[in-house]
Structure formats: structure tokens, C-alpha cells
Structure 1
Amino acid sequence: MSLLKVENLGKSFGGVKAVDGINFELKAGELLALIGPNGAGKSTTFNMVNGQLKADRGSITLAGTELVGLQPRDIWRLGVGRTFQIAATFSSLTVVENVQMALLSQDKKLFSLWSAAAKHRRSDALDLLDMVGMASQADRPCSVLAYGDVKRVELAIAMANAPKLLLMDEPTAGMAPKERNELMALTKKLVTERGVAVLFTEHSMDVVFAYADRMVVLARGRLIAEGKPDVIRDHPKVQEVYFGSGKTFEKSQEAGKAPEEQAA
């Protein structure tokens, strides 16, 4: 049974159809990659699922609950976590305090003057940090962390509300190859152990093909292909949209570049 169901989803900006009637589903314990060339509608789709944009038409349901029209904070409380392309943490706070802030928000105590982050559910925050391999750095300020470690902290924050669905926007952007693989391997582990569904956008095709269970491919706002990585890799329409002709995903990956860089 599907956890997330997107049906006939559409969004226009002026006369431009950024997303034009797309459909896809996502099950618990599955990593689904949302890919496509620049301008395909990935970010618009992603932001509609998260509630940052309101769909003009169609439906987005999470375990049967309609999300269209809800605010991002309400969607978060229904069990949707999110990480961002540029990691979003409070650099002036310690690692553990960042996670405690998320727990305060979950408990609806963020604006309570007597609920200081430093005192709130520290043991739970440490458990979340241990889950992502950051417990040993709990009391360090986020401002001194390496970027790969900041992304791990952001993942712990996203998991603070025990999400059913995790949205990851370009999770490996700005990371070295080793860091990329470590973060995605960790995400895959969480998906397996906790049954979390993950919808992610990503430009690094090595990451997509290595870790996605299925892929949805958009082009000019429309869904052009859906399936397992091996199916997508050899899909003629996908190859045409990304490369025109004469190139393949294999050749692009051998050159060590994302498809957009190869096509430029």
C-alpha cells in the first residue's frame, strides 16, 4: 500500500505549466528519486509536496490525508521531515541544541520562555545524533563542523519528528564523493531499519543509480518515465532528454560528471 500518492498534480506560473498532470506513488521503506534536466519541474513538485507551494490542481495524500492546502508546519506535524540543498542549521548553537530545537518544535514548546533548548529532551537528542554518527560531537558548535557533518546533523533534525516521509532536496550538493556515499548509505540504512519513505531530488547520477529503489523522470513539467534504475538507465526517452544522442548515463558517469554538465 502506498504511503504517498500524487495524482494529476499541476502548477502554472503565468502561462507556463511548471508541472502538468503528473502521477506517482511512494511506499514506506522505499527511496524514490525525482530527476530531470533543469526546468523539468522537480523543485516545483517537491515544494508542493512540502506545502511551500500550493497546487493549482490535483491531489497529494499522505496515508490517506490530503496535503494540498496545508501549511508546511502542519505537514511536518503529520510526519514529513525535510532536508535542504543548503544545510539549514543554527550555527551559533551546539550540535545537540540544534536537535533539541527540533524536538521543542515537535512538542509545540518553541515559544515557551521556560523551555530552553539546552534542557529539553537531551537524551532523545543524543539518540538521534547517535543514529547519524554525530553523538561524539554533540557539544561542539555547528559553526566549526565540516560540511559533511553539518548534513548529518540536518538529517538528525529531520528525523526528530519520527517522520513517515522524508523529503531530501539535493542531499549531496556540495559534498565530496566519499561524503556523498556515506550520507546516502546512512539514509538507506534508516529507510531499511525504520521503514521511512524517502523522496529525493539529486543531480549526481552516481548517487541516484546507486541508492534509489525507483526513479521518476520529469521533463518540461511532465512525467516521461518511471521505474527501477536499470529500466531508467536504458530508457530511450530519458537518454534523449538528458543527452540528445550519442551519449549514455554510463559514459557520463565514467567521465565523473553529472548529465547536466555533460550536456552543457
Structure 2
Amino acid sequence: MSLMTVTNLGKSFGGIKAVDGISFELAAGELLALIGPNGAGKSTTFNMVNGQLHADVGSIRFDGAELVGKKPREIWRLGVGRTFQIAETFASLTVVENVQMALLSADGKLFSMWRRAAAHKRNEALALLEQVGMAAQADRPCSVLAYGDVKRVELAIAMANRPKLLLMDEPTAGMAPKERNELMALTKKLVVEHNMAVLFTEHSMDVVFAYADRMIVLARGRLIAEGKPNEIREHPKVQEVYFGSGKTFEKSKVSKESV
């Protein structure tokens, strides 16, 4: 059964159709990769699901609710978490305080000054950090962490509202191959443990083919292919869009700049 169903989604800027009538579904417990060459409409699609952009046409049904027309904060409260291409944490706060701030927000108390953040659900924050392998660094300032560890903290923050769906915008951007694989393996583990859905965009094709359960491919605003990684790898239209002709994902090294 689908957790999210996107139907005939479209968005234009001036006379240009950035997203042109795409439809797809996402199930609980599934990692769905959204890929395509530059200008394909990935970011526009992603931002419509998150509420940062308002769709011109179409529907996004999530767990029985219509997301089109809702603000990002409203969508977040329905159980949709998000991580960003550039990790967003408070560098001046400790690791655990960053997660506590997210828990305060989830409880609707972010702007209530009657209670110190340091006293709010520390044990729950530590449990979230344990899930991402960062509990041992809970009292260190985020400013001194390695970038891969910052991304783990961001993942713990995203889990603070117990999301049913996690949106990950290029989660491994700026990371070394070992860090990329560790972060996505951790994400896969959380998906299984929490029966959570993940929709992610990604430039690193090694990550996409290793961890995605299913993939959708956009080109010039339209959905051109959908299927499991092995099906997408051999899809002639996908090969044409990425490489022209005569090459495959097996034979070609896909650089970050080319995707």
C-alpha cells in the first residue's frame, strides 16, 4: 500500500515546464531515488513535496492527506522529515543540544522560554544519537565535528519528529566514498527498523545503485523511467539521456558533475 501517491504533478516558471505531469508512488519501508541530468526537474519535484514550492497542477497524497497547498511546517507536522544538501546544525551548540532543539520543536515548545533546552528530553535525544552512532560525542560542540559526523547528527535531528517519510536532498554531497556508504547504510538500517519511507536525490550513482530499492528518472521535467536499479541500469532511454548512446552505467564512471 502506498504511503505517498504523486499524480500529474506540474510546475512552470514563465513559459518553461520545470515539471510536466509526473506521477509515482512511494511505499513505507522503501528507499526511492529520484535522479536525472541537470535541469531534469528533480529539485522542483523535491521542493513541491516538501511544500517549499506550490504545484501548479496535480496532487501529492501522503498518508491520506493532501500536501499541495500546505506549508513546509504543516507538512513536517504530518510526519515528513528532511535533510539538506548542506548539513544544517547549530555549530555553537553541542551535539545533544542540537537534537534537543529538534525535540522541543516537535513538541511545539521551541519558542517557549519557560524551560531550558538543556533539560528537555536529554535521554530521548541520546537515544536518537545512539541510533546514528553519535551518542559518544553527545557533549561535543557541533563546530568541531568531521563533516560525516555532522551529517549523522542532522539525520538524528530529522528523526526527532518520528517521520513516516524522510526527504534527503543529496545526502552524501561533499563526502568521501567511505563516508557516503556508511551514511546510506545507516539510512537503510533506519528505514527497516522504523518502516520509514525515504525519497532522495543523489549525484553519486554508486550510492544510488547500491542502496535504492527503486528509482525514478526525470529528463526535461518528465518521468522517463521507473523501476528497480537493475532495470534502470539497462533502460535504453536512461542510457540515451545520460550518455548519448553506446555506453552503460557498468562501463562508464559517472562523475558528480555529469548527473
TM-score w.r.t. the length of structure 1 is 0.96
Kept after mapping to 2: 8 A contact 1:252/1:258: no
1:27 maps to which residue?
Answer: 27
1:153 maps to which residue?
Answer: 153
2:192 maps to which residue?
Answer: 192
Q: Please report the RMSD computed on the Cα atoms of aligned residues, expressed in angstroms.
A: 1.0
Identity %: 83
Question: How far, CA to CA, are the matches of 1:65 and 1:260 in structure 2?
Answer: 37
Task: Note closer, same or farther for the CA distance 1:259–1:143 as it changes in structure 2 (3 Å cut).
Answer: closer
Question: How far, CA to CA, are the matches of 1:205 and 1:7 in structure 2?
Answer: 26
Kept after mapping to 2: 8 A contact 1:252/1:259: no
Runs of 4+ in 1 over 3 A off after TM superposition: none
Kept after mapping to 2: 8 A contact 1:18/1:221: yes
Any idea what SS the aligned residue of 1:110 has? coil
Quote how far apart the aligned CAs of 1:260 are: 4.2
Question: How far, CA to CA, are the matches of 1:76 and 1:237 in structure 2?
Answer: 35
1:18 maps to which residue?
Answer: 18
Equivalenced residues, count = 259
Q: Is residue 52 of structure 2 the alignment partner of residue 52 of structure 1?
A: yes
Q: How does 1:168-187 map onto structure 2 within 5 Å?
A: 168-187=168-187
Q: Which runs of 5+ in 1 are unaligned?
A: none
Question: How far, CA to CA, are the matches of 2:88 and 2:252 in structure 1?
Answer: 31
Any idea what SS the aligned residue of 2:252 has? helix
2:64 maps to which residue?
Answer: 64
Quote how far apart the aligned CAs of 1:150 are: 0.2
Q: Is residue 255 of structure 2 the alignment partner of residue 258 of structure 1?
A: yes
Question: How far, CA to CA, are the matches of 1:259 and 1:86 in structure 2?
Answer: 16
Question: How far, CA to CA, are the matches of 2:70 and 2:234 in structure 1?
Answer: 38
Quote how far apart the aligned CAs of 1:181 are: 0.3
Question: How far, CA to CA, are the matches of 1:146 and 1:250 in structure 2?
Answer: 32
TM-score w.r.t. the length of structure 2 is 0.98
Q: Which runs of 5+ in 2 are unaligned?
A: none
Q: Which moved more, 1:108-117 or 1:140-149?
A: 108-117
Question: How far, CA to CA, are the matches of 1:180 and 1:162 in structure 2?
Answer: 23
Question: How far, CA to CA, are the matches of 2:205 and 2:141 in structure 1?
Answer: 33
Any idea what SS the aligned residue of 2:157 has? helix
Q: How does 1:207-222 map onto structure 2 within 5 Å?
A: 207-222=207-222
Q: Which AA in structure 2 matches 1:7?
A: T
Question: How far, CA to CA, are the matches of 2:257 and 2:158 in structure 1?
Answer: 29
